[in-house]
A and B are shown apart, each in its own frame.
Chain A
Amino acid sequence: MTKYIIKRVIMMICTLLLISLLTFILMHAVPGGPFTSDRKLPEAVEAALNAKYNLDDPLPIQYLDYMVDLFHGDLGPSFQYEGRSVNDFITSGFPVSARLGVTTICFVLLAAIPMGIVAALKNGRWQDMLVMGVATLGVTIPSFVIATGLMYIFSYKLGWTPTIGLDSWRSYILPVIALGGYSLAFIARLMRSSLLEVMGQDYIRTARAKGLSEFKVVTRHALRNALIPVITILGPTIANLLTGSFVIEKIFALPGLGIHFVNSITNRDYTAIMGVTIFYAAFLIAMIFVVDIFYCLIDPRIKYD
C-alpha cells in the first residue's frame, strides 16, 4: 500500500512537471509577446516591460524562474489588470467556485444514487423508464443549454430565482442543477447498471436464500459492491464539474475562478491563463489521487500496482 502511494506520488509529480512545461511552452508559442496589442507601445516602454518581467532571458531560464516562483506559490502578475496578481484571482475566485462545486457534488450524489437504485430495482418498469429518460436527456444536452433554458424559464418568466450572483440559497438552485446535470445523468446510469449486475450475482441469491428481507439484501449486500464503480467515477466527475463551471459561472455571472479564466482567455491575459490552468490541473490531479487512494482503501480486491 505504502509502495503504491509512493509510486502514485512520484507519478503525480512527473505529471505536474510535464503539465507546467507543456503550459509554459504552449504559452510561449503564442505569436508576439504578452504586450503585443493593437495599440503599438513605444519601443522604450516595451523594452522596459520586457526587462521588468524578465522576458529577455532565454526560455529555459524563464521557465526555471517561473518554476521557482511556482514553488513559492507565486503565479506571477496579471498582464492585463495592472497591480493584480494571478494569486489574487485564485484567492478571490476559488472559494466561490469551490462552494458551488461542493454543493453540486452533494446534490449529484444525493440525487443520482437513489435514482440509479430505483431504476435498477424497478428494472423495465415506468420508474426505470423515467430515470433512464432523464439520464439520456442529461447526457445529451450541453450544460450551457440547460443553464440558459432554466434561467429563461425560472428567472425571467416565473421570477422564482435570482438571475445572477450568489446572494441566497435560492441563487444556488439553478447553477447547481445546470452544472450537475451531466454528472447526475452519468452517475444515475452507472449506478443502475452496476446494481443490476450485482443483483444477478450468486451471493445475492445466497442472501435471499437465508431469508433476509429484500431491504437488507439491497442495503447490506448489493449496495456496498455496487457503489464501487460510482466512487471510481468521482475523480472524472470533479474534473467535469470544474470545467463545466466555466460556462455556468459565465451565464449566471458568478464571481468564481471559472469566469476569471474565461475572461482571461478573452483578454488574452497569458500569465493568468497559464497560472489558472496549472492551478486547475494540479487541483484535479490531487483530487483524482485522493479518490484513487480512497478507492483502494474501500475495495480490498484492488491490487496496488
Chain B
Amino acid sequence: MEQTGLWDKLESSNENRERLWTKSRTFAGDVWFRFRHKPTALLGLLLIAALLLFALGGPFLLDHDYSQQNLDYVNMPPSIQVTDTAGSRFYVTPNLKLIEVAEDGTLLAPVPRLQDDFNSRTQTFDYNGTTLTLNYGLTPPALVDESGNPITDVETIHNKDYPLGTDGLGRDMLARLMYGARISLLVAFIAAAVNMVIGILYGGIAGLCGGMVDSVMMRIVDIINTIPLTLYVILISVVLGNNSGLVSIVIALSSVYWVDMARVVRGQVLTLKSQEFVFAARTIGTSSKDILLRHLIPNAMGPILVTVTMLIPQAIFMEAFLGFIGLGVAPPMASLGTMCNDAIEALRTSPYQLFEPALVICITMFGFNFVGDGLRDALDPKLKK
C-alpha cells in the first residue's frame, strides 16, 4: 500500500483492512526480544560463549598439555623479574634455579648448576664457560658475576612460554585452566541434564497422577528438602571413592538436586492438566505417557529452562566446593575447584595460582546467573519486580 502524502485518504480495500501491519513474532522471538534488551543478560551470554570457546577451542592453540610436567619451570609467575647482564637475561626461580630468558620473554634453558655451598649460602652456575654466583643468604637472592660485581639491573618482562605461569609441578596454568574449565562445565552440564530428567519425570508423574501418589511423592520431596544436601553430596562422593573421580562427582550432584526441578514441574503440570487441550487429547484417546511427554512438558518448558540455567551455576559452585575440600577429580585431571585447592599451599609465594582459577569460576558464575535472571524475566514478563 502506497501513501503519497500524510493527509491522503487511505485505500479501503478489504484485504488490507484486516491485515496486521507489524510482523507477527513467535513466542521464541518474543523471548529473544525481551532477553536482548537486558544488558546484563546479553553480557552473561557473551561471557558463557567466551568461556566455552576458551574451554573447548583453547587447548588446540597451545603447545603445552594440561598434564605435561616440567620440573625445571616450577612455580613460574606470569610476569617474571629478570636480571640483565651483558645482553643475557636470567630469572631466579623461587626454588633457586637459574633460567636464561630471551628478550621477548621466551624461556631459553635452565643454566646448569655447578655446586651448592650451604655454608656460604651460595650456588654457582656455569653459563657458557663463565661462572655466575647466586647468593641466597640475602632476600631477595642476589646474582653475582665472575668478577664479583653484583648484577643489579632488574626488569620485569612477561613470561612468553607460560602466559599465565606454571603450577607447583611446572604445568602450564593456561592449559590447566582451559582443561579445568572444561571439566567443571562438563560436570555442571551433565549434572544439570540428569537433574532435569529426573525432576521432570518425578514432578510430572506426581502432578499428573495426583491424589495419593502425589501426596506420598511430595512428602518424600519435603523430607529430602529438609536434609542438608551438601552433607549428602559429600557423603556420596566419599562413598563412591576418589578413583572414579569425574563419575562420582556427577552421580553425587545428580542424585540430590532434582528436588527443585520436581517441584517446579509438578506445579506447572497441576495448572496445565485441567486445561482444554489436555481434555481434547484425552478424548481422542492419548495415553497418559503421551499427554505428559507431548503436551504437558513442552508447555512447561519455560520455567524448566529457567530452573536448569540456575542449576548449572549451582552445580559449578558445588563442584568447586567439593574440589576444594579434597573430593574433586583425581590428578592429573583438573577442575577449577581442585586447582584452587592445589594453590592454597603456595598462596604466599604464588598467589596467581589461586586467583586465575578463582577468576574463571567467578566469570562462569556471573555468566550463568545473568543469563538465568534474563531468561526468567524474558519468559515471564509478569514476574517483573
Q: Within the assembled complex, what's the spacing in Å between the Cα atoms of A255 and B235?
A: 22
Q: How far is the CB of B131 from chain A (nearest CB, A)?
A: 36
B54 to chain A, nearest CB (A): 18
- Bound form: Cα–Cα A26–B355 in Å: 36
Q: In the complex, what residues of A have CB within 8 A of residue B61's CB?
A: none
Task: Give A157's nearest chain B residue, CB to CB.
Answer: B351
Q: Interface residues of B: mostly helix, strand, loop or mixed?
A: helix
- The interface residues of chain A lying within 8 Å CB-to-CB of B324 are 142, 144, 247
Tell me, yes or no, whether A4 is within 8 Å of chain B by CB. Answer: no
Determine if A15 and B227 form an interchain contact, defined as CB atoms under 8 angstroms apart.
yes
Contacts of B361 in A (CB 8 A): 141-142, 145
Instruction: Say which residue of B228, B344, B355, B385 sits within 8 Å of A239 (CB atoms).
Output: B228
Complex Cα spacing A137 to B369, Å: 11
A142 to B238, Cβ gap below 8 A? no
Report if A96 contacts B (CB, 8 A): no
Residue pair A149, B223 in contact (C-beta under 8 Å) = no
A284 close to B228 (CB less than 8 A): yes
B91 interface residue per 8 A CB criterion? no
Within 8 A of B (CB), among A257-305: 262, 265-266, 268, 273, 277, 280-281, 284-285, 288
Q: Is the beta-carbon distance between A277 and B317 smaller than 8 angstroms?
A: no
Least CB distance, B80 to chain A, in whole angstroms: 20
Of the residues B238, B344, B369, contact of A273 by C-beta under 8 Å: B238
Once the chains bind, are B239 and A250 in contact (CB under 8 Å)? no
Type the 1/0 row for B220-260, where 1 means its CB is closer than 8 Å to any CB of A.
Answer: 00110011101110111011010000000000000000000
B38 CB to closest chain A CB, in angstroms? 14
Task: Assess A265 versus B228: contact at CB under 8 Å? Given A18-B223, A30-B239.
Answer: no
B385/A193 in contact, CB under 8 A: yes
**A15 & B362 in contact (Cβ 8 Å cutoff):** no
User: Given known contacts A31-B241, A151-B347, A265-B327, is B321 in contact with A144 (CB within 8 Å)?
Assistant: yes
Inter-subunit contact A262/B227 (CB<8 Å): no
Q: What 1/0 flags go to A230-246 for Cβ under 8 Å of B? A: 00000000010011001
Q: Does B358 contact A (CB under 8 A)?
A: yes
CA distance A229 to B182 in the complex (A): 38
- Cβ contact within 8 Å between B354 and A148: yes
| Contact of A265 with B234 in the complex, beta carbons under 8 Å | yes
Contact status of A250 and B325, CB under 8 A, knowing A142-B320, A281-B231: yes
Partner of A156, one of B313, B325, B348, B355: B348
The reply to whether the CB of A109 lies closer than 8 angstroms to some CB of chain B is no
* B365/A141 in contact, CB under 8 A: yes
Known contacts: A23-B235, A265-B234. The answer to whether A142 contacts B321 by CB under 8 A is yes
Asked if B41 is at the interface of the complex by the 8 Å CB criterion, the answer is no
In whole angstroms, what is the CA distance A206 to B234 when docked?
52
Which one, B340, B351, B355, B366, contacts A144 given CB within 8 A? B340
B326 at the binding interface (Cβ < 8 Å): yes
Is A152's CB within 8 Å of the partner chain B?
yes
A19 close to B (CB within 8 Å): yes
How distant is B177 from chain A, measured CB to nearest CB, in Å? 15
Question: Inter-chain contact count A-B, CB under 8 Å?
Answer: 106
- Over the window 259-275 of chain B, the binary record of Cβ atoms lying under 8 Å from chain A Cβ atoms (1 yes, 0 no) is 00000000000000000
Min distance, Cβ A145 to any Cβ of chain B, angstroms: 4
* Cα–Cα, bound, A250→B321 (Å): 12
Least CB separation from B242: chain A residue: A268
Report Cα–Cα, A15/B359, bound state, in Å.
39
In the bound complex, residues from chain B placing their C-beta under 8 Å from that of A29 are 239
Q: Considering the complex, give the chain B residue whose CB is closest to the CB of A280.
A: B231
> SS class of chain A's interface: helix, strand, loop or mixed?
helix
Known: A27-B239, A142-B361. A152 touches B223 (CB 8 A): no
> Which residues of the partner chain B approach A18 to less than 8 Å between Cβ atoms?
223, 227
Interface presence of A251 (CB below 8 A)? yes
Contact: B321 with A262, CB < 8 Å? no
Q: In the complex, A193 Cα to B383 Cα: how many Å? A: 12
B45 to chain A, nearest CB (A): 16
Q: What chain B residues lie within 8 Å of A37 (beta carbons)?
A: none
Cα distance, A145 to B347, chains bound together (Å): 12
- A139 close to B (CB within 8 Å): yes
Interface check A9, CB cutoff 8 A? no
Question: Is A204 an interface position by the 8 A CB rule?
Answer: no
- Distance to closest chain A CB from B346 (angstroms): 11
Q: Which of B295-329 contact A (CB under 8 A)?
A: 313, 317, 320-321, 324-327
A260 to chain B, nearest CB (A): 12
- Which residues in A have their C-beta under 8 angstroms from that of B369? 136, 139-140
Give, as a whole number of angstroms, the nearest-CB distance from A83 to chain B. Answer: 23
Interfacial chain A residues near B340, Cβ < 8 Å? 144-145, 148
Query: A residues 27-70 with Cβ under 8 Å of B?
Result: 27, 29-31
Contact present for A243 and B235 (CB under 8 Å): no
Q: Which residue of A lies closest to B348 (CB)?
A: A156
Q: Does A196 contact B (CB under 8 A)?
A: yes
Instruction: Give B373 Cβ to nearest chain A Cβ, in Å.
Output: 10
Q: Considering the chains assembled together, what is the distance between the CA atoms of A164 and B226 in angstroms?
A: 33
| Chain A neighbourhood of B354, CB < 8 A | 145, 148, 152
Mark contacts of A104-122 with chain B using CB atoms, 8 A cut-off: 1 yes-contact digit, 0 otherwise: 0000000000000000000
How far, in angstroms, from A46 to B264 measured CA to CA in the complex?
50
Q: With A and B bound together, what is the CA distance between A19 and B228 in angstroms?
A: 10
Give the complex CA separation of A14 and B354 in angstroms: 43
25 contacts between A and B (CB under 8 A): A11-B222, A12-B226, A22-B232, A26-B232, A27-B235, A29-B239, A30-B238, A30-B241, A140-B362, A140-B365, A142-B362, A144-B324, A144-B340, A145-B361, A145-B362, A148-B344, A152-B354, A156-B348, A193-B385, A239-B228, A239-B230, A251-B344, A273-B235, A280-B228, A288-B226
In order of increasing CB-CB distance, the 9 nearest A-B pairs are A140-B365, A145-B358, A243-B230, A284-B228, A262-B325, A26-B239, A144-B324, A277-B231, A266-B326
Chain B residues engaging chain A, CB cutoff 8 angstroms = 222-223, 226-228, 230-232, 234-236, 238-239, 241, 313, 317, 320-321, 324-327, 340, 344, 347-348, 351, 354-355, 358, 361-362, 365-366, 369, 385
